[in-house]
Structure 1
């Protein structure tokens, strides 16, 4: 059997479940997941290697109509990922009706229809309207494969994965077979911390946070790893929200982040976590370019 190899870009509106699906298909946690829209801020790659070949999934930010500077960078990151892929996996949320964003995505994908696969997600939820989503997808992309899935439970994802392998071209491995992502350690640490912040404070700070690692240093013996990181908020008043009463908030974030980071590295982790304000971070081009991978 010839080996298959493909770069697959996922696209969809915010909160359709792209990151959950990448984690499900790869069988590992690749992307952070949170209820807040646009949790993903850059293209995150998950790598699945089997006997039949290797698929590289590019999890992109949610495609959202907005003139805010951060959103423009997020859209650019998604569009760039579409230019270099063999297949496109378009995720539709079965619990939401199609709107302007869905129409804009359909227009963006029209020239790529021949390499498109559609996955209608969240079919396990009672409010899902699967027939309507299937009809809309079939009308927009006649003849293309359409799957009804639940990225949360895994229902329907095996058939989806089989089709992705079938449609992939023959080729050699793009990454060594032991790789499951190409994210550098610093990026993974910042994402883990940001996930913990968003998960705990999404009502108060949905998009006002970014995380920066200032220093990572091992003991040279492969036993201990010290990490110094900063959680940045937009306003001084938001610092207290993150820190919490008596430091309880930042302590919980640090403890949970440290435990998650320890699953990535064969070290004992020592995480030093601080909170600072950066009022204009969403308008700083250099930071946004680095954050979104542009």
Structure 2
């Protein structure tokens, strides 16, 4: 048995786990529940996650650095191709892979694409069926009886080297089996000198920079209030940030960027009601995240065809 590295806790494991799944499979909800903090924004809009978002979970068994990837699906659009590439590249160097399958939906072509991404990594794979609260009564949500038969057949057919009996029923919304998933992932992390030291201090739960966190919170609030095409046609640009009042207040000017003037009018709303609501709720969320006050100057502007511009996409997806 190898000695622990300097500063490492004896018997603890530390590693990196990548979360994959089709759009709206509950990846961000799981990460937020596991970390007990808001790390990755959640909305009813598919493809809400646009980056490999890192969240850090500290547990008695050690530390797992999760990478929450965009929902994996097939699309010829330039932005979606970048998102799919991001999900694939995140698998490199991971110690474990968590594949989340929505138990409330029939597996289809999109799920088959995601399973094909997971199958070559079966040796470091944990499969969990999410949203069991939508398909089973409370007393069964954490048991094998909550797993739909089509889901079990799908995993057996598409990832034959993975034992379907190891699929974990999960309801992140109700915090059912979060610990079971973490335990299964810790079991896959190697015990060696490379994994002896924590990658982040125990009081750290994400490595996101302030401008990214602010932009994501604003985007989450906008997505919750907008429908149809607009959610996919907007992004947030943080233009300026400055600490004021002796470090007590972070002032930020940010723009909700859309593709057309008609979209701009919808985001602003009648009498500026919608943009005011987005700003107010964003500020409430930001006050819970940062140890200082946040002052937000929020505006809306048009950036025509931004989803086809490599300069913009390179800033948003990395």
TM-score per shorter chain, which class?
over 0.9
Inter-CA distance 49–129: structure 2 relative to 1 (3 Å threshold): closer
Q: 8 Å contact 2:107–2:150 — kept in the other structure?
A: no
* 1:190 equivalent in structure 2: 215
- The alpha carbon displacement at 1:204 in A equals 5.3
Give yes or no for contact 1:95–1:129 (8 Å, CA) kept in 2. Answer: no
Gap runs ≥5 in structure 1: none
Contact 1:73–1:289, Cα closer than 8 Å, also in 2: no
Corresponding residue for 2:149?
131
Partner of residue 155, structure 1: 176
CA contact (8 A) 1:88 1:117 kept: yes
The Cα shift of 1:220 comes to 5.5
Q: CA deviation at 1:133?
A: 0.9
**Moved >6 Å (runs of 4+):** none
Stretch moving more, 46-55 or 193-202: 46-55
Tell me what 1:110 maps to. Answer: 119
CA shift for structure 1 position 50: 2.5
Q: CA deviation at 1:102?
A: 1.7
Residue in 1 aligned with 2:61? 52
Q: Name the stretch that deviates more: 122-131 or 189-198.
A: 122-131
Q: What pairs up with 1:1-294 in 2 under 5 angstroms?
A: 1-126=10-135, 130-141=148-159, 142-144=161-163, 145-170=166-191, 171=195, 172-203=197-228, 205-219=230-244, 221-293=246-318
Paired with 1:68 and 1:97, the residues of 2 have a C-alpha distance of 25
Contact 1:16/1:91, CA 8 A, preserved across alignment: yes
Deviations 1:212-268 (A, max 9, x none): 101110116121121100000110111111111101111101111111111122222
Q: TM-score, normalized by length of structure 1?
A: 0.95
| Deviation of the 1:286 alpha carbon | 2.1
Would you say the 8 A contact 1:49–1:177 is kept in 2?
yes
- Measure how far apart 1:288 and its partner are: 1.0
CA distance in 1, matches of 2:245, 2:11: 43
Contact 2:55/2:207, CA 8 A, preserved across alignment: yes
Q: Deviations over 1:74-102 (max 9, x none)?
A: 00110110112111100101111111122
CA contact (8 A) 1:120 1:134 kept: no
CA distance in 2, matches of 1:41, 1:87: 21
Question: Kindly tell me: are residues 55 and 129 of structure 1, through their superposed partners in 2, closer, same or farther at Cα, counting changes over 3 Å?
Answer: closer
Residue range with higher mean Cα deviation, 24-33 or 98-107: 98-107
- 2:64 and 2:257 map into 1 onto residues whose CA distance is 35
Count residues with an aligned counterpart: 293
- 1:190 Cα offset (Å): 0.2
